[in-house]
Amino acid sequence: MRIDHDIVIAGGGVAGATAAALLAQSGHRVALIDRQRPKDLDPSSDFDPRVVAIAPGSAAALDAAGAWERLPAERLGPYDRMQVHADGGEIVFRASEHGLAQLGWIVEVPWLQACAWQALAGVDGVELIAPAGVKDFSQREDHVRIERDDGKTLRARLLVAADGARSRLRQMAGIETEMWHYNQQALVCHVATERPNDGIAWQRFTEHGPLALLPLADGRSSIVWSQPERRVAELTALDEAAFLAELNCCLDSPFGEATSATRRYGFPLIRRQAKRLVSGRLVLLGDAARNVHPLAGQGLNLGLMDAAALAEVLADWTGDDDPARILRHYDRWRMSGGSLVAGGIHAINEFTRAGPGRALAGVGFSVAGRLWPLREAFVEHACGLDRDSPKLARSAR
């Protein structure tokens, strides 16, 4: 019987494309399927509102995949300091104190995806199938039969679902999820301030929800302000001057007041966690495995750690062997890591929604700032450099 590919990845987002490159480097024959190819981007265009924080460990995975080096420097917003404030208390992290050049970078999602696909074009062993989608699949003892929506079929040893938070493949496999509706949205836009943001990821817990200012390469900040849905609808309907007035009432940042803002968008906040990441020869990766609150900027970082972890556990897999034991290891590893991060972020968000919680958080930040082992452990985990991170990520140290 003909096996077309060792591994088929459904979903060509950043995590899926990175996984394709890393798996192919181990000698696996990989196909990446997506309904569309990334568009060509203009380096002179304004910054996209969809930005993410990329940790050093994740940057190492992107670098190994050939994507990081393709990102234009003028689209990268590095930050070497992180400041978190709550009701008078604060904690400050500096990269230099932890032996790092940067704590992370703010990068536009479309640029990350485009660069990851550009890198794949030169990788032996990767077939890019787009536009196309997976209509159905069925599992056999030693392979997966995949039916594409154009009527063609593929046979692969493994099928990786990297098809997003509402993963059809996850649903088709009968994998249940735990869900939590925050009844919040993340309001996002870019703002200019009286003083440019020179490399600080700044966050404050306001009475309406956590507000983050993240550095863009041009000195502006991308804001992510998690708030009740009704309030986000009201703020997006305001004209620019009225919105800036509302924002500046809550800001109190080291950059002074916000002086201009781009168009505002609201994105619903829902926490999802798959109850398992493996079903036979189907593997979940990235947002298909879990969604987390944007409070700590860990969403895509978790997906990239999934990609690096899957490549690590499958590095010596020949394709002919039963992968069950290897996939159980991946399942336990990434369920543990993802659940720990998601649970911690969820607890902080819920705790700080009330005034007493924010006050206690402020005290906690001030105390934690004096405890070096706790600070070091937080930085290592947030940057993808702790012992539970894939070897590839830890190489960034």
pTM over 0.75: yes
CB contact at 8 A, 50 and 72: no
170-213 confidence digits (pLDDT tens): 999 999 999 888 788 999 999 999 999 999 999 998 888 899 99
**CA–CA gap between residue 186 and residue 209 (Å, rounded):** 9
Tokens of 280: 């036979």
When comparing pLDDT for 373 and 115, which is higher? Answer: 115
- With cut-offs at 50, 70 and 90, classify the pLDDT of residue 339: low
Q: Which candidate, 65, 36, 68, places its Cα nearest to that of 55?
A: 68
- With cut-offs at 50, 70 and 90, classify the pLDDT of residue 354: very low
Going by CATH, does the domain composed of 182-269 fall within 3.20.20.70?
no
CB contact at 8 A, 61 and 307: yes
Amino acid at 128: L
Where in the chain are the domains? 5-72+107-178+272-352, 182-269
pLDDT at residue 86 above 50? yes
SS3 track for the chain: CCCCEEEEEECCCHHHHHHHHHHHHCCCCEEEECCCCCCCCCCCCCCCCCEEEECHHHHHHHHHCCCHHHCCHHHCEEECEEEEEECCEEEEEEHHHHCCCCCEEEEEHHHHHHHHHHHHCCCCCEEEECCCCEEEEEECCCCEEEEECCCCEEEEEEEEECCCCCCHHHHHCCCCEEEEEEEEEEEEEEEEECCCCCCEEEEEECCCCEEEEEECCCCCEEEEEEEEHHHHHHHHHCCHHHHHHHHHHHHCCCCCCEEEECCCEEEEEEEEEECCCEECCEEECHHHCEECCHHHCCHHHHHHHHHHHHHHHCCCCCCCCCCHHHHHHHHHHHHHHHHHHHHHHHHHHHHCCCHHHHHHHHHHHHHHCCCHHHHHHHHHHHCCCCCCCCHHHHCCC
29-41 confidence digits (pLDDT tens): 999 999 999 998 9
250-299 confidence digits (pLDDT tens): 998 999 999 999 999 999 988 899 999 999 999 999 999 998 866 555 77
Burial class of residue 248, CB neighbours in 10 A (0-12, 13-18, 19+): middle
When comparing pLDDT for 69 and 351, which is higher? Answer: 69
When comparing pLDDT for 299 and 216, which is higher? Answer: 216
What is the model's pLDDT at position 91?
85
Superfamily of domain 5-72+107-178+272-352: FAD/NAD(P)-binding domain (3.50.50.60)
pLDDT at residue 342 above 70? no
What is the model's pLDDT at position 371?
55
All residues at 6 or more sequence positions from 239 whose CB lies less than 8 Å from its CB, including other chains? none
- With cut-offs at 50, 70 and 90, classify the pLDDT of residue 372: low
- With cut-offs at 50, 70 and 90, classify the pLDDT of residue 155: very high
Residue 148: CA atoms inside 13 Å, Cβ hemisphere, count?
A: 21
All residues at 6 or more sequence positions from 199 whose CB lies less than 8 Å from its CB, including other chains? 77, 78, 79, 80, 81, 215
Mean per-residue pLDDT for 58-87? 94
108-151 confidence digits (pLDDT tens): 999 999 999 999 997 899 999 999 999 999 999 999 999 999 99
Dihedral (Cα; 334, 339, 341, 344), 10-degree rounding = -170
